């Protein structure tokens, strides 16, 4: 992501460290390589993504409705941009996604994720 940070800044996308420093309830944009996708059977359809950039990892919560609308992006895109509400509860920081978009970078830079499927 460091190669694309200038373009991300133009889109107001925060890096992982800066995103985690924001206050609870703020709308943020984050982006990164999807390193894990989880859809536990006990989570009532919620999907959890872990995005990694050059500064760290951001956890993302995808509600069932958004997942249904953006299934292809959620399950296959190696890099994503997320816009959502920062949620900080008991020092656990996540972004509750309201919007998800695939990012398209040069394919030689794609890293495989650890997926639920």
111 domain residue, yes or no: no
112 domain residue, yes or no: no
Which pLDDT does position 89 carry in this prediction? 87
- Domain count of the fold of the chain: 1
Q: What is the CATH number of the domain that holds 52?
A: 2.40.50.140
113 domain residue, yes or no: no
11 domain residue, yes or no: yes
pLDDT > 70? residue 99? yes
Q: Give the mean pLDDT of the chain.
A: 89
Range of the domain at 28: 2-106
Decide if 58 contacts 76 (C-beta within 8 A): no
**Backbone phi, psi, residue 18, to 5°:** -65, -40
Model pTM score:
0.85
In this prediction, residues 28-54 reach a mean pLDDT of 92
């Amino acid at each position: 992501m460091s190669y694309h940070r200038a373009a991300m800044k133009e889109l107001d996308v925060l890096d992982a460290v800066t995103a985690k420093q924001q206050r609870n309830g703020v709308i943020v944009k984050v982006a990164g390589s999807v390193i894990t996708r989880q859809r536990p059977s006990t989570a009532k359809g919620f999907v959890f993504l872990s995005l990694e950039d050059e500064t760290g990892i951001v956890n993302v919560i995808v509600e069932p409705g958004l997942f249904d609308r953006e299934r292809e992006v959620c399950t296959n895109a190696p890099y994503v941009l997320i816009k959502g509400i920062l949620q900080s509860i008991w020092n656990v920081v996540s972004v509750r996604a309201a919007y998800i978009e695939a990012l398209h970078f040069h394919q030689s830079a794609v890293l495989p994720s650890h997926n639920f499927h």
